[in-house]
Amino acid sequence: MSIIKNLENDIIKIITSAGYDISEPMFQSSNRPDLGQYQINCAMSLAKKYGKNPREIATDIVNELEKDPRFININIAGPGFINITLKDEYLAETLNIIKTDIMQNIDQKSNNKVILDYGGANVAKALHVGHLRSANIGEALKRLAKLLGYQVLGDAHLGDYGRPLGFVILEIKKRYPDLPYFSEEYTGDFSEVELPITNSDLEEIYPYASAKAKEDLTYLEEGRDITYKIQNHVRGYYDLWKKIVEISKNDIKKIYDDLNVSFELWQGESDAMEYFPKLQEIFEEANILQDSEGAKIIDIKKEEDTSPMPPLLFIKSNGTISYETTDLATILERKIKYNPDEIWYCVDTRQELHFEQVFRAARLANLISDDVNLEVIGFGTMNGKDGKPFKTRDGGVMTLKSLINLVYEETLKRINPQTVPPEERESVAKTVAIAALKYADFLPYRGTDYVFEVEKFADLEGKTGPYLLYSTIRMKSLLNKANNINYQKIHILNSDIEKEIALTILNLPLILTKAIEAKSLNDIAEYLYKLTSQYNKFYNENKILVEENEQLRESWLVLTEIVYKTNTLLLDVLGIKVPEKM
Per CB under 6 A, residues contacting ligand ARG are 117, 120, 122, 157, 159, 327, 345, 347
- Name the residue nearer to ligand ARG (CB basis): 314 or 345: 345
- Name the residue nearer to ligand ARG (CB basis): 345 or 487: 345
Q: How far is the CB of 118 from ligand ARG (least distance, A)?
A: 8
- DSSP string for 499-560: HHHHHHHHTHHHHHHHHHHHT-SHHHHHHHHHHHHHHHHHHHH--TTT-S-HHHHHHHHHHH
Of 291, 250, 249, the C-alpha closest to 270 is 249
548 class by beta-carbon count within 10 Å (0-12 exposed, 13-18 middle, 19+ buried): exposed
3-state class of 51 per DSSP? coil
Q: How far is the CB of 227 from ligand ARG (least distance, A)?
A: 16
Q: How far is the CB of 377 from ligand ARG (least distance, A)?
A: 11
3-state class of 303 per DSSP? coil
- 37 Cβ neighbours under 8 A, 6+ residues apart: 29, 30, 83, 84, 85, 86, 503
Cα 10 from Cα 27, distance rounded (Å): 11
Cα 25 from Cα 7, distance rounded (Å): 11
- Name the residue nearer to ligand ARG (CB basis): 322 or 520: 322
- Name the residue nearer to ligand ARG (CB basis): 271 or 561: 271
Cβ contact 260:577 at 8 Å: yes
Q: How far is the CB of 378 from ligand ARG (least distance, A)?
A: 11
Q: How far is the CB of 141 from ligand ARG (least distance, A)?
A: 14
Cα 77 from Cα 80, distance rounded (Å): 6
Strands 113-117 vs 342-348: parallel, antiparallel or unpaired: parallel
Supply φ then ψ for residue 259, to 5 degrees. -85, 0
3-state class of 389 per DSSP? strand
- Name the residue nearer to ligand ARG (CB basis): 126 or 458: 126
Q: How far is the CB of 222 from ligand ARG (least distance, A)?
A: 24
Cα 426 from Cα 122, distance rounded (Å): 29
Dihedral sign for Cα 569, 574, 577, 578, please: negative
- 393 Cβ neighbours under 8 A, 6+ residues apart: none
Which 8-state DSSP code applies to residue 20?
-
- Name the residue nearer to ligand ARG (CB basis): 157 or 519: 157
- Name the residue nearer to ligand ARG (CB basis): 47 or 347: 347
Residue nearest ligand ARG, CB atom distance: 120
Cβ contact 389:128 at 8 Å: no
Q: How far is the CB of 113 from ligand ARG (least distance, A)?
A: 18
Q: How far is the CB of 450 from ligand ARG (least distance, A)?
A: 20
Q: How many residues are present in the chain?
A: 582
- Name the residue nearer to ligand ARG (CB basis): 357 or 534: 357
Cβ contact 209:168 at 8 Å: yes
Q: How far is the CB of 121 from ligand ARG (least distance, A)?
A: 7
- Name the residue nearer to ligand ARG (CB basis): 62 or 152: 152
Q: How far is the CB of 132 from ligand ARG (least distance, A)?
A: 12
Where is 284: in which H helix or E strand? helix 276-285
170-185 in b/e form (b: 16+ CB < 10 A) is bbbbeeeeebbbbeee
Q: How far is the CB of 129 from ligand ARG (least distance, A)?
A: 11
- Name the residue nearer to ligand ARG (CB basis): 36 or 130: 130
14 class by beta-carbon count within 10 Å (0-12 exposed, 13-18 middle, 19+ buried): buried
- Name the residue nearer to ligand ARG (CB basis): 166 or 579: 166
- Name the residue nearer to ligand ARG (CB basis): 22 or 397: 397
Q: How far is the CB of 128 from ligand ARG (least distance, A)?
A: 8
- Amino acid letter at 90? Y
- 55 Cβ neighbours under 8 A, 6+ residues apart: 43, 76, 79, 80
Q: How far is the CB of 449 from ligand ARG (least distance, A)?
A: 17
- Name the residue nearer to ligand ARG (CB basis): 54 or 159: 159
